Amino acid sequence: MSVDAERPPLSVFDRLEPLLPLVGKPIQYVGGELNSVVKDWSSCDVRWALMYPDAYEVGVPNQGVQILYEVLNERDGVLAERTYAVFPDLEALMRQHGVPQFTVDGHRPVGAFDLLGVSFSTELGYTNLLTALDLAGIPFSASKRDETHPIVVAGGHAAFNPEPIADFIDAAVLGDGEEAVLTVTELVRTWKAEGRPGGRDDLLLRLARSGSVYVPRFYDVDYLPDGRIRRVVPNLPGVPWRVSKHTVSDLDAWPYPRRPVVPLAESIHERASVEIFRGCTRGCRFCQAGMITRPVRERSITGIGEMVENALTVTGFEEVGLLSLSSADHSEIKDVARGLADRYAGTNVSLSLPSTRVDAFNIDLANELTRNGRRSGLTFAPEGGSERIRKVINKMVTEDDLIRTVATAYGNGWRQVKLYFMCGLPTETDDDVLQIARLAREVIRTGREVSGRRDIRCTVSIGGFVPKPHTPFQWSAQLDHEATDARLALLRDAIRADRDYGKAIGFRYHDGKPGIVEGLLSRGDRRVGRVIEAAWRSGGRFDGWSEHFSFDGWMAAADEALADEPVDVDWYTTRERDFSEVLPWDHLDSGLDKDWLWEDWQDSLAEVEVDDCRWTPCFDCGVCPQLGTDIEIGPTGRQLLPVTAITAGAAALGDHSHDR
């Protein structure tokens, strides 16, 4: 190990600065945000660059990155800085002027860090990873990297099937990152302190053998002549056959972020966020997040109260979002909502509760949280238009529930209701989707009756369903984009054709093409990596952005990259799998029992519903025994007390010049 390698890298800001007047929204590249941290390079021995592979405005509010940024920076000798995808205008200038991918905190070159951790909320960030690697001077192929390059670690929900990017990453971490990043940090620290024995391969082997980290290169994938996977096996002794996800217990012990970074640039969420619980056992069969984050772990009511108050104080935001996969399901949500509403009564603080179910109880909550403010819009996600399809997806809500809930909302002064649906669900017919139009008409008819007003509105928002790994629908065929678009057109026409109600119903939809690429990347295997690289080489960037996304580019890339394989895009997307097929992610353990997933898939086809295990007996999904975890829920029976900090600040500013 040479001492030179440890010399602090020069900030690239001097070279970046002259480029900034030439690009859009330059503020996103300068850092210096409130609560951001720049630690001394030389006093740290493990250094992480954390990337959210999308634009700054999308990435900066991401809770995963914010949590890990703090957890790492709080540790002595550990440093973490953030980096985001640069837009094509700056990318071109950086290439022209030889400016590498940089962190926004210290403007240090990403290539100088020990680790590059990338959080993938969605597979559509894969091309942005390649741009960052390329700009950082890191070879795409993990096998071509040496000791001077960072270890590239993938995390986030997409890391539950990292096979399409297996060639580009050195490692993947599944599940909650709080403890896992510290485990990885310690392994890197020890290896460096020992003088990096055995080089990069030895470090990767240490990571793999720890059982905490998946290192793709230590697994060989063989294929059958028809293109299906024959088997996936470890190729070195001591490397585990399966790698499990990480699960943090006791959320109250992890009250992060404590000091959320507050961007100057406008981001997609101009609010602070407090995670009120993690995991979901509603069992919606399409929902990957609900399946891979089990079991449910609640933050206590008092823990929530402290985090909300702290977030308001340290950020200055006016709004706090209470995050979870199904917010109204917190065991003490009623007391949480009332307690917070009481605390902030008479102030301009607003609280929001995204991800609520279709349930009249949620109207009470929403009313409580909007005591001071405006009742503009409420959002519900029935997901499926017909009673039948909702049984298929296990979204347990009847039409009566829905109409009653929406009527209550209009009756309480809410003017606008937004309804989320999916198109292309397993077994779906045209009629299942056309039922959405009937449902929306019924919503408006009831709403007008209950509120006595004609200015109420309902917006139907619908997108194509993409089957995801580790869900009961992992075996199902995805609907092709032509059929998706045809069904969406039928629905649009049905809504518009209605003279009485059509004008009160808004219709928003996402066309089917991006879903096919997402489907390819979600359920792809290692061969899809070549497609990603070809798409990137043909200019693929920011695939989650309609103005940048090129379906034709992706299809051409797939034709080229898969020309010598017995598989194609349809094979990955619109093909139904059977139970015996080895899935690309079978060696990655989300805790869910594969037999249970298959049973649930069969139940789905039989339109049999499964209840929530928080209130009904365990249905043996396998997670708790497999991972040694358990559901952690209240009630704690505690209450929120009023806080006085808000008024204390004002008193300190008072003009006391006449007091004497």
Partner 1 sequence: MAQRQPDREIVPAVQRLRVRYAKRGRLRFASHRDFQRAFERALRRAGVPMAYSAGFSPHPKVSYAGAAPTGAASEAEYLEIGVLAPLDPDAVRAALDAGLPPGLDVVDVVVARSGSLAERLTASIWRIELPGVTPVAAQTPVAEFLGREMVEVQRRTKSGIRTFDARGAVVELSVESSAADGPPCAILHLVVRHQTPAVRPDDVLSALHQVADLVLSAPPQVTRQAQGSLDDSTGAVSDPLAADRGPAGHAAGA
Under DSSP, the state recorded for 173 is: -
By CB under 8 A, tell whether 455 contacts partner 1.
no
Query: How many Å separate Cα 315 from the centre of its chain?
Result: 23
Complex with partner 1: residue 450 or 556, whichever CB lies closer? 450
By CB under 8 A, tell whether 625 contacts partner 1.
no
By CB under 8 A, tell whether 501 contacts partner 1.
no
Residue 598 contacts by C-beta under 8 Å, 6 or more apart in sequence? 472, 475, 579
- Please select the residue that binds partner 1; options are 3, 497, 606, 650, rule is CB under 8 A: 650
By CB under 8 A, tell whether 163 contacts partner 1.
no
Complex with partner 1: residue 21 or 617, whichever CB lies closer? 21
Type of residue at 272 = A
By CB under 8 A, tell whether 92 contacts partner 1.
no
Neighbour-count burial for 345-380, b at 16+ CB within 10 Å, e otherwise: eeeebbbbbebbbbbeebbbbbbbbbeeeeeeebbb
| E strand residue ranges, 465-587 | 505-509
Dihedral sign for Cα atoms in the order 509, 512, 518, 519 = positive
By CB under 8 A, tell whether 654 contacts partner 1.
yes
Type of residue at 524 = G
How far is it, in rounded angstroms, from Cα 213 to Cα 206?
9
Q: Taking the CA atoms of the chain, what radius of gyration do you get in angstroms?
A: 25
- Please, what is the minimum distance in Å from the beta carbon of residue 10 to partner 1? 16
Span near partner 1 by CB under 8 A; candidates 121-129, 287-295, 613-621, 648-656: 648-656
By CB under 8 A, tell whether 17 contacts partner 1.
yes
Span near partner 1 by CB under 8 A; candidates 114-122, 154-162, 628-636, 646-654: 646-654
- Please, what is the minimum distance in Å from the beta carbon of residue 20 to partner 1? 6
Complex with partner 1: residue 415 or 594, whichever CB lies closer? 415
Write out the binding residues for partner 1, residues 35-64 only, by CB under 8 A: 36
Whether cis (ω within 30° of 0) applies to the bond prior to 260 is: no
By CB under 8 A, tell whether 346 contacts partner 1.
yes
- Please select the residue that binds partner 1; options are 128, 161, 315, 476, rule is CB under 8 A: 315
By CB under 8 A, tell whether 658 contacts partner 1.
yes
- Please select the residue that binds partner 1; options are 142, 166, 262, 567, rule is CB under 8 A: 262
By CB under 8 A, tell whether 266 contacts partner 1.
yes
Alpha helices in 125-267 (DSSP H): 126-136, 178-193, 199-209
- Please, what is the minimum distance in Å from the beta carbon of residue 34 to partner 1? 5
By CB under 8 A, tell whether 34 contacts partner 1.
yes
- Please select the residue that binds partner 1; options are 1, 264, 489, 608, rule is CB under 8 A: 264
Is residue 617 classed exposed, middle or buried when 0-12, 13-18 and 19+ CB atoms within 10 A define those classes?
exposed
By CB under 8 A, tell whether 260 contacts partner 1.
no
Strand 350-352, strand 377-383: pairing: unpaired
By CB under 8 A, tell whether 656 contacts partner 1.
yes
By CB under 8 A, tell whether 10 contacts partner 1.
no
How far is it, in rounded angstroms, from Cα 133 to Cα 85?
10
Taking CB atoms within 8 Å and a gap of at least 24, the contacts of 1-6 are 1/192, 1/195, 1/196, 5/148, 6/42
By CB under 8 A, tell whether 197 contacts partner 1.
no
What x-and-dash track marks residues 347-366 binding partner 1 by CB under 8 A? -x------------------
- Please select the residue that binds partner 1; options are 9, 27, 364, 401, rule is CB under 8 A: 27
Write out the binding residues for partner 1, residues 400-419 only, by CB under 8 A: 413
- Please, what is the minimum distance in Å from the beta carbon of residue 446 to partner 1? 16
Complex with partner 1: residue 563 or 653, whichever CB lies closer? 653
How far is it, in rounded angstroms, from Cα 171 to Cα 149?
14
By CB under 8 A, tell whether 93 contacts partner 1.
no
Complex with partner 1: residue 182 or 265, whichever CB lies closer? 265
By CB under 8 A, tell whether 20 contacts partner 1.
yes
- Please, what is the minimum distance in Å from the beta carbon of residue 657 to partner 1? 4
Distances (CA, A) of 13 to 9, 87, 88, 321: 12, 17, 19, 34
- Please, what is the minimum distance in Å from the beta carbon of residue 135 to partner 1? 20
By CB under 8 A, tell whether 646 contacts partner 1.
yes
Span near partner 1 by CB under 8 A; candidates 95-103, 153-161, 439-447, 448-456: 448-456
- Please select the residue that binds partner 1; options are 373, 539, 566, 628, rule is CB under 8 A: 373
Complex with partner 1: residue 270 or 559, whichever CB lies closer? 270
What token pair was written down for 591?
């805790």
- Please select the residue that binds partner 1; options are 6, 89, 147, 318, rule is CB under 8 A: 318
- Please select the residue that binds partner 1; options are 15, 75, 228, 371, rule is CB under 8 A: 371
Among 463, 489, 492, residue whose Cα is nearest residue 478:
463
User: Residues in contact with partner 1, total (CB under 8 A)?
Assistant: 51
Complex with partner 1: residue 91 or 163, whichever CB lies closer? 91
Residue 74 contacts by C-beta under 8 Å, 6 or more apart in sequence? none
Q: Are 464 and 422 in contact (CB under 8 A)?
A: yes
Q: Are 294 and 623 in contact (CB under 8 A)?
A: yes
By CB under 8 A, tell whether 31 contacts partner 1.
yes
Complex with partner 1: residue 220 or 270, whichever CB lies closer? 270
Is residue 546 classed exposed, middle or buried when 0-12, 13-18 and 19+ CB atoms within 10 A define those classes?
exposed
Q: Tokens 């007008």 identify what position? A: 448
Give the number of other Cβ atoms within 10 Å of residue 241's Cβ: 10
Complex with partner 1: residue 267 or 293, whichever CB lies closer? 267
Among 497, 417, 424, residue whose Cα is nearest residue 460:
417
How far is it, in rounded angstroms, from Cα 100 to Cα 134?
9
Q: Is 40 helix (H, G, I), strand (E, B) or coil?
A: coil
- Please, what is the minimum distance in Å from the beta carbon of residue 401 to partner 1? 23
Under DSSP, the state recorded for 405 is: H
Q: What does the angle CA 208 – CA 214 – CA 218 come to, to the nearest 5 degrees? A: 65
470 dihedral zone (left: phi>0; alpha: psi -120 to 50; beta): left
Q: Kindly list the residues in this chain that would bind partner 1 in the complex (CB under 8 A).
A: 13, 17-18, 20-22, 25-27, 29-34, 36, 262, 264-266, 270, 312-318, 346, 348, 371-375, 413, 451-453, 646-650, 652-658
